[in-house]
Structure 1
Amino acid sequence: MPVPERQGVISRSLLRENAYRSILDAIVDGTLAPGERLNDAELAQWLGVSRTPVREALTRLEETGLVQTKPGRYTMVSPLDGRIARAAQTVTAAMHELAVREAVSHLSADEIDAMRAANARFATALQADDVDGAIASDDEFHRIAVRASANPVASAVIDQYTPVLRRMERLRFSSLNGRASVALHDRIIALCEAGDAEGAAAAARDNWLSLGEVFDLDANSGPTS
């Protein structure tokens, strides 16, 4: 068979994406702690890749606010910063509001059931103090409406800024405050099922804005005050 002209492009793309996702996950789950210095050679060795995809990943993470760089001096995991998180929260809440508003008329009964099942898994994870499981189920819950909205711009913005909030949400889901999200999810589901696009959109916005409680909980931890 003829050799494809663009041979290897997909694998290089996957290397870049995998490096980005691996470093992002490590920052969000606290493996790479706020303020920790990042060395591209060490990260490349950890991931088993060359320095190029690592450097590209760090550039992307700097754009989201999760990494800070001083050229010629250091690259580090950004400290928790309440101001940046609040800005990300406002934008993310608005995008979820838009996505849910556009999704309601397209959501199928199966998708409503999937939202309900994801929220049940979310509640179970919270009961078990399973923070990783709670965040994964929360992601799954919200992703259903975002996909149904078929709005690629809203989806891209959500993907870019949600990780900033996830670091804060780990604090929330480790506390009793996270339990309130289950009821907020139930409200979103009920309004979606009733076909109330405006009500569901407002509930989705309120759900994401409620994360402001975490900023108050974290008020005494340095840059987040």
Structure 2
Amino acid sequence: MPVPTAAEATPRKLLRDVVFDQLLTAIQDGTLEPGERLNDEELEKWLGVSRTPIREAISKLADIGLVETAPQRYTRVAKPTIEQYIEGLRLLYGFHELSARWAIPNLTDADVEHFRKLGDQVLADAEAKSKDIILSASRFIDVLVERSENSLLQQLARQVDARVTYMSLPRVGYFQWDIFAGYVTGLVAAAEARDADAAERVMRAQAVKIEEFLAAVEQAGGGFPGV
């Protein structure tokens, strides 16, 4: 008789990916500060793992610009630059527009309800002018990235999002609070209507406003307008 197959197990993360997530969180929440050197022995003690997954995670963080390395000299947390912020944000909006186009028709009622609740949190953070909006906005849009059902887009968008989130944190004081509410409510309305065209229009309108802001940043020589 055929051997019964076991129920499909929940996929387990590789140790290097667990370490990557831990280091990413520590960098984004400021536990590991910009410019701070990353010592293998100290990280081994802190994370309770061997050097190999740590080095693999650091290599991945370096690939997306959150860690800087120089052989035989240093491995350290990258210092956010305005150039990286502008470059990453422009690319991220392109990924998000594609995500909206592909995801909206796939949304279930449960997806829409979850998306609406995450949007409410973003709006609350905008109202409070809280730095938490950087992460709540990331969680909000990640619903569309996940439901795009395109694994390559998901991989690339999450890498760019990690970089943009980190580069955005020092600049949250210049966040465009006034235009973000319309962006969130517009996307939620498009999701409720399962209207991919409407979502794409919201994304493009937001991208135009972001471009206007970034053009002013560049004209200010990499600083922020009025600063």
Paired residue type of 1:66: L
Q: Which residue of 1 aligns with 2:164?
A: 165
Give me the identity figure in percent: 31
1:67 CA displacement: 0.8
CA distance in 1, matches of 2:89, 2:107: 25
Counterpart contact for 1:123–1:179, Cα < 8 Å: no
- In the TM superposition, structure 1's runs of 4+ consecutive aligned residues that sit over 6 Å from their partners are none
Q: CA offsets per residue over residues 85-134 of structure 1, 9 Å max, x none?
A: 322222221111111101122222332222211111222234455534x3
Q: Which residue of 1 aligns with 2:100?
A: 100
Q: How does 1:185-200 map to 2 (within 5 A)?
A: 185-200=184-199
CA distance in 2, matches of 1:218, 1:27: 27
Name the CA shift for 1:169/1:85 in 2 (closer, same or farther; >3 Å). Answer: closer
CA distance in 2, matches of 1:107, 1:119: 15
1:191 CA displacement: 2.6
Instruction: Tell me the TM-score normalized by structure 2.
Output: 0.78
CA distance in 2, matches of 1:182, 1:22: 31
Counterpart contact for 1:103–1:148, Cα < 8 Å: yes
Alignment of 1:63 with 2:63, yes or no, is yes
Matched position secondary structure for 2:176: helix
CA distance in 2, matches of 1:97, 1:176: 20
CA root-mean-square deviation: 2.8
Alignment of 1:112 with 2:104, yes or no, is no
Counterpart contact for 1:68–1:78, Cα < 8 Å: yes
Matched position secondary structure for 2:33: coil
Paired residue type of 2:91: V
User: Which 5+ residue runs of structure 1 have no aligned equivalent?
Assistant: 1-9
CA distance in 2, matches of 1:172, 1:210: 17
Counterpart contact for 2:65–2:163, Cα < 8 Å: yes
Counterpart contact for 2:116–2:188, Cα < 8 Å: yes
Counterpart contact for 1:119–1:141, Cα < 8 Å: yes
Q: Which residue of 2 aligns with 1:43?
A: 43
1:73 CA displacement: 0.8
Name the CA shift for 1:135/1:220 in 2 (closer, same or farther; >3 Å). Answer: closer
Paired residue type of 2:47: L
Counterpart contact for 2:119–2:188, Cα < 8 Å: no
Paired residue type of 1:59: S
Q: CA offsets per residue over residues 141-187 of structure 1, 9 Å max, x none?
A: 11222222111111101111111111233345456634532321111
Counterpart contact for 1:96–1:205, Cα < 8 Å: no
CA distance in 2, matches of 1:85, 1:111: 30
CA distance in 2, matches of 1:37, 1:206: 41
Q: How does 1:144-223 map to 2 (within 5 A)?
A: 144-174=143-173, 177-178=176-177, 180-207=179-206, 213=213, 216=217, 219-220=222-223
CA distance in 2, matches of 1:155, 1:209: 23
1:33 CA displacement: 1.8
